[in-house]
Amino acid sequence: MAENTREKELITHLLRKAGLLPGGTLPQLDKLSGDGSDRSFYRLRIEGGRSLIAVFPSPTLAKGMEEQAAAYGIGIHLHGQGVPVPEIAGYDQKNGLLLFADLGNLHLQAVVRASKSFAEVEPLYRQAIDGLIRFQLAGARNFDTGFCWDTPRYDLALMLSRESDYFRFSFCRDYMGKSADDSRLLLELQHIARRAALEPARYLLHRDYQSRNLLVHDGRVHIIDYQGARLGPLGYDLASLLLDPYAGLSRESQEVLYGYYYDRISRELTLEPENFRAGYHCLALQRNLQILGAFAFLSQIRGKIFFQQFILPALASLKALLRDPLGREYPSLAGLADELEEQLKKAQFF
């Protein structure tokens, strides 16, 4: 209770400083949940009917204040570049408090889940892809990597430690109790990461571009949770959107959207279709490994069991990538994925 009182005081002070409490009436606060994050979120209702979102830094993350500073710096930059992100209404640097325009709580995931067909949501996905391309290209213009609180670039070292090893340790070993130290598997994971690392990394990367980080407000798609942005390759965020276990798009729908993205990005850049597809495939594998590691960690260590329901679909997505002709050179990973899926299904049955 004391913590909530302190947070309300800080919010009120920042609102007054920003001139957002002209009548002096205190804001009404509603606590919100934050998916995988332990930052504090509030919806504020202030005099005149205006609504804002207040975000406090993570109390457990060592660089929680740096993360908030990144959200502020990157958010101001993106908004200035015409990227569809919420406008920032205020920032208390000392306490790491951010105020954003309130764009509601309708995630693209909810729209997808309520739809009867892909055709109903395809226009929104096209918007999401148009927004992604603007994020990647316009967002990279004059981007200051000093904004980045984690790493300035998505590179080979990050792929191996925070995706390949995340999968091996958090998912395989800790969650499934399965050793993933076979030398052939390690070589395959290195091969995937090294091929992915060949992709040009001069674009802006969101690194979690999925349907729960896309808000639909007044028929328009807006991008949130971009504070982990850094320089990186084009294909990773596209893979995040298409493989997204929250939405569960069919392979056919993924291909439709892949084609739309490639057509649009090709108007801006000169790309070679086969080379881009090969790079995309390895980046999709990297993303899928990261998803499984994250879902296992969040559900088992953080106690956020909401994520457990998406582990099996994410594993099925990995298996589909490995069945693709571009994925058939990774038999050890494919065999491990088969074993893990069988183990998961058996555990759910009992």
For the stretch 150-207, pLDDT in tens is: 999 999 999 999 999 999 999 999 999 999 999 999 999 999 999 999 999 999 999 9
pLDDT of residue 3: 56
| 158-164 contacts at long range (C-beta below 8 A, 24 or more positions apart) | 159/193, 159/196, 159/197, 159/286, 160/189, 160/190, 160/193, 162/290, 163/193, 163/286, 163/287, 163/289, 163/290, 163/293, 164/189, 164/190, 164/192, 164/193, 164/286, 164/289
Residue 292, both tokens = 């499984």
pLDDT of residue 212: 97
**Cβ pair 55, 100 in contact under 8 A:** yes
Question: Are 143 and 159 found together in one domain?
Answer: yes
DSSP string, 128-172: HHHHHHHHHHTTTTT--GGG-SS-SB--HHHHIIIIIHHIIIIII
User: Which CATH number is 26's domain given?
Assistant: 3.30.200.20
Question: Are 238 and 330 found together in one domain?
Answer: yes
- Inter-axis angle of helices 235-243 and 311-323, nearest 10: 120
User: Pairing relation of β-strands 51-56 and 40-45?
Assistant: antiparallel
Measure the CA angle with vertex 324, ends 319 and 330; round to 5°: 65
Which residues constitute the domain of residue 144? Answer: 108-349
pLDDT of residue 349: 52
pLDDT of residue 184: 98
Residues of the chain with pLDDT under 70: 1-3, 23-24, 349-350
Question: Are 52 and 160 found together in one domain?
Answer: no
Report the distance separating Cα 189 and Cα 333, nearest Å.
8
pLDDT of residue 5: 84
Question: Are 97 and 146 found together in one domain?
Answer: no
Question: Are 168 and 247 found together in one domain?
Answer: yes
Question: Are 42 and 160 found together in one domain?
Answer: no
What are the backbone angles phi and psi of residue 96, rounded to the nearest 5°? Answer: 70, 20
Among residues 83, 101, 119, which one ends one of the domains?
Answer: 101
Question: Are 37 and 157 found together in one domain?
Answer: no
Question: Are 336 and 230 found together in one domain?
Answer: yes
**Cβ pair 288, 254 in contact under 8 A:** no
Cα 215 versus chain centre, distance = 13
Among 214, 210, 286, CA closest to 249: 210
pLDDT of residue 62: 86
H or E stretch at 67: helix 64-80
